[in-house]
Every structure is written in C-alpha cells, then in structure tokens.
C-alpha cells in the first residue's frame, strides 16, 4: 500500500524555530500536568479518604477512557475545521477535569469524582498523540526530524518533573492544591494553543464525522506495511517496558537497595532524555524511521539483558541508563514514521490510536509481570530484553511483506 499524498498544503510558518518553541511550551505544560496527575490522584485519595485503592481507581478512571476515546477523538480532530479551538478546548477540558477532581474527591460521592477523572481522561489522546500530530502542519518537512526528537524530550521531561513537582507541592501546600496547580498548568497550556499558526481547514463535504472515519486509522495500522510495522513492533516492545516498574521493585529487594525501586526507572528516564537530545542534535535515522525503530529496539534489549547478570544496583543502573539512551531515538523515530506514512485525512487518528496501542501493551506487561513475580527479577528482566528483540523481529517481518508486494514508497 503506497503512502498517500497530501491534498491539503501544510502550513509553512516564516519562523519555524519560534513556532517550535511555542509548541514545546504547550506540550511540556500539558504533559507535565498529565504525568503529575497520576501521582497527585493517589496522594489526594489517601489524604482525603485514607484509601490508596480509591487512588488507584482515580488513576484508572483517568487512563482507561483515553484508550476508548482515542479513535473518535482522532477522527474528529482530522475533520474539524478550526483546529486551534478544538485542541485548545480539549486541553483546557483536561485541566478543568483535574481541578474538578481536586474539589470533589472525599467531598462528593465517589462515582462523581471518578466521573470527573474520566472526563479529564477522555481528553488525554489529544494531550499525547493528538498534539504531536500538529507538528507536520506547523513546520516545514526539513525541520520535522529535529522537532519530533524535541517532542520526545517533552515526554521525558514531563515524566521526570511531573511526579517530582507533585511531591514538592503536596509537601508544601497539600495534595489538593497540588492537583489544582496541575489543572491550572494544563489550562494555561491549552490557551497557548490559540497562538499556534494552524490554518482552518476547508469546510468538509458531508457530516463532520462519519462512522467510517473512526475506523480509518485501525485499517491503516493493520494493512499499511510501514505503519503496521511501527505500531506493532513498538507495541510489543512497550509490553516489556511496561513490566519494568515491577521488575525494579524486585531488583531493589534482590540488591537490598530500596532506592533502586524508583531510582532505576528514574535513571532510565534520564537516559531517554539524553538520547532524545542527542538525536535532536543529529537525527541520523530520519530517512527511514521504521528501520531506526527496529534497530533501537534491539539496542534497548542488549543492556537490559546484561542487567540479569549484574550483581549490584550500580551496575544495573548503568544498564538501565544505556537502555534509556536507546529509547529516546526510538520514540523520536516512531513519531517521525507516523507522520511520514499516515495519510493527511487520518494523521491525528494514527497518532492517537498508535499511542493507545502502546498504552494498552504497557498495561498488559505490568499486569503480567505482577502475576509472574515468582519467576524472580533476573528472569523477568531477561524476558523484557527478549521482548525488545522479538519486537524488532516482528517489525522486520511486517516490513518484508511490504517489499514482497513491490511497494517502494518511503
């Protein structure tokens, strides 16, 4: 299946550097709020209700609706005329939902607080993949390789700084004000979207959203070889990565080093940030992003496999840092590949649905690791490494079918 050509000219701003900085401000603000909220919800629930289980339910209410809402949200984003208003409204809605949870938890019936978290969660596809999909319309093609690398940096920074910010604010002013502050940051980021130079689309022919639009991206992720390879290879790789928080807790027990339970994941996140920055400086794999993804999957697995034979937490930290350095370019290349191979009419859907596939695989990996913890940390981390290699093999197999069909598009 060949790559479809755009029927809508992309916006070419006169100062792409300034536009990219403005975009990164938006992305960092809303993603910081989203990442921090996962911690803030649990802390708030324990403070107000004394129940960590209810905190987990709030987190689930925030995350699960995003998986369900991704296809229709992406389809609507691909059809709506005034994209700035649409995306700004979604991000503002996410922030207002978080603020509502801060006011309702422990003071209103539990289903009401869960509904508010769910409403915020319905907007998360546009916080992640939906926002990234705008880069192709904001910047010229020559700037996209570096832009996707810097976009990956916003995910890294948000993942590191969001929980840390919540910890500081919760200790200083309390968990409810901390969550309110996150909501305000998301609202401010949403309003900043209005300053992005996104041109209105022409009036659509027919209804704003048709039933066939919702499944367009799903068909592409199954039938289009590059997108199929990118999606399912990265999904299988994320299945292993999703198990790592459980593995790190087990490794901390094995090493008798409590700091390693969260510290190893932090080290990996810092490594990913470094890898993203290095790839932004020199995006060496942007010509064939699908091949870069497969190479980085294999590279991620090697240091993780070595961790299974390490005898101490410092050596394990080195392995996690090296693995993180590989996941940075991997994610940047994944974003670039989605943008390159997705047809304009379904670009946002490809981003939102692809992100949801990764999230679902990650959750499944965490659940399976928890169920298999009796296998021990060494075997589990080796299984995570094998997942990366298996994911690369799967992606290569799906790309081979492309060549056999005689598709030469890139």
Domains of the chain: 16-203 (1.20.1250.20), 215-404 (1.20.1250.20)
pLDDT for residue 188: 97
> How far is the C-alpha of 385 from the C-alpha of 380, rounded, in Å?
9
> How far is the C-alpha of 96 from the C-alpha of 116, rounded, in Å?
9
Q: Report the share of the chain in percent with pLDDT over 90.
A: 60
> How far is the C-alpha of 164 from the C-alpha of 186, rounded, in Å?
17
Mean pLDDT of 340-349: 89
pLDDT for residue 14: 52
Residue 188 has a CB neighbour count (10 Å cut-off) of 17
User: How does pLDDT run across 184-211, given as a tens digit for each residue?
Assistant: 999 999 999 999 998 887 766 555 556 6
Both tokens assigned to 400: 């081979």
For 254-259, which contacts have Cβ atoms below 8 Å and span 24 or more sequence positions?
Answer: 254/376, 254/377, 254/378, 255/312, 255/313, 255/316, 257/313, 259/313
> Could you tell me the CA-to-CA distances from 194 to 74, 93, 143, 173, 401 in Å, in that order?
19, 14, 22, 31, 43
Q: Report the share of the chain in percent with pLDDT over 70.
A: 91
The pTM score is: 0.84
Both tokens assigned to 398: 């799906």
3-state secondary structure of 298: helix
Is residue 229 within 8 A of residue 407, CB to CB? The reply is no
> How far is the C-alpha of 326 from the C-alpha of 273, rounded, in Å?
10
> How far is the C-alpha of 283 from the C-alpha of 9, rounded, in Å?
25
User: How does pLDDT run across 281-330, given as a tens digit for each residue?
Assistant: 888 877 899 999 999 999 999 999 999 998 899 999 999 999 999 999 99
Helices marked H in 206-312 — which ranges?
Answer: 211-214, 216-223, 225-242, 244-255, 260-281, 289-307
């Amino acid at each position: 299946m060949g790559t479809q050509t755009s029927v809508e000219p992309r916006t070419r701003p006169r100062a792409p550097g300034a536009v990219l900085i403005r975009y990164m401000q938006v992305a960092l603000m809303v993603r910081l709020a989203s990442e921090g909220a996962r911690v803030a919800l649990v802390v708030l629930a324990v403070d107000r209700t004394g129940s960590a289980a209810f905190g987990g339910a709030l987190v689930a209410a925030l995350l699960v609706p995003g998986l369900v809402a991704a296809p229709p949200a992406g389809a609507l984003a691909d059809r709506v005329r005034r994209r700035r208003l649409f995306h700004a409204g979604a991000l503002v809605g996410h922030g207002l939902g978080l603020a509502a949870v801060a006011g309702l938890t422990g003071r209103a019936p539990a289903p009401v607080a869960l509904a508010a978290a769910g409403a915020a969660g319905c907007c998360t596809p546009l916080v992640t993949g939906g926002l990234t999909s705008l880069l192709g319309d904001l910047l010229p093609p020559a700037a996209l390789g570096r832009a996707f690398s810097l976009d990956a940096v916003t995910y890294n920074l948000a993942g590191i700084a969001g929980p840390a910010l919540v910890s500081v604010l919760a200790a200083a002013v309390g968990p409810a004000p901390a969550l309110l502050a996150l909501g305000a940051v998301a609202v401010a980021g949403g309003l900043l979207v209005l300053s992005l130079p996104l041109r209105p689309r022409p009036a659509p022919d027919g209804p704003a959203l048709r039933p066939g639009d919702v499944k367009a991206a799903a068909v592409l992720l199954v039938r289009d070889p590059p997108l199929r390879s990118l999606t399912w290879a990265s999904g299988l790789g994320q299945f292993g990565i999703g198990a790592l928080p459980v593995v790190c807790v087990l490794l901390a027990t094995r090493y008798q080093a409590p700091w390693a339970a969260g510290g190893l994941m932090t080290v990996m996140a810092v490594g990913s940030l470094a890898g993203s920055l290095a790839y932004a400086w020199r995006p060496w794999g942007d010509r064939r992003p699908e091949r870069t993804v497969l190479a980085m999957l294999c590279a991620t697995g090697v240091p993780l496999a070595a961790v299974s034979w390490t005898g101490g937490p410092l050596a394990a930290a080195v392995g996690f840092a090296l693995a993180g350095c590989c996941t940075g370019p991997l994610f940047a290349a994944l974003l670039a590949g989605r943008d390159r191979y997705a047809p304009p009419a379904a670009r946002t859907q490809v981003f939102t649905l692809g992100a949801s596939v990764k999230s679902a695989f990650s959750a499944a990996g965490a659940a399976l690791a928890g169920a298999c913890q009796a296998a021990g940390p060494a075997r589990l981390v080796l299984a995570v490494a094998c997942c990366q290699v298996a994911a690369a093999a799967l992606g290569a197999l799906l790309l081979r079918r492309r060549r056999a069909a005689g598709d030469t598009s890139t």
